[in-house]
């Protein structure tokens, strides 16, 4: 399910995200499965993980 979670939003399909996307998808997916991550939080984590 976390693969669809990422690919449904074009923000998660950009080149920079795909390069190191596997780890990010796993982390976002685990949070999403535990219902601890809404969309604004997801975007913040996405930005943090791509710019660390």
What is the tally of structural domains in the chain?
1
Judge whether 39 and 11 are in contact, CB under 8 Å: no
Residue 38 tokens, joined = 């809404």
Domain limits for position 8: 2-50
Q: In the 8-state DSSP scheme, what is residue 15?
A: H
CA distance 13 to 21: 9
1-52 tens-digit pLDDT: 344 444 455 555 554 455 455 556 656 666 566 555 556 666 676 666 666 5
pLDDT of residue 1: 39
CA distance 37 to 51: 19
């Amino acid at each position: 399910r976390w693969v669809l979670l990422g690919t449904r939003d074009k923000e998660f399909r950009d080149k920079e995200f795909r390069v190191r996307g596997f780890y990010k998808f796993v982390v976002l997916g685990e949070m999403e499965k535990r219902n601890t991550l809404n969309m604004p939080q997801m975007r913040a984590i996405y930005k943090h993980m791509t710019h660390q």
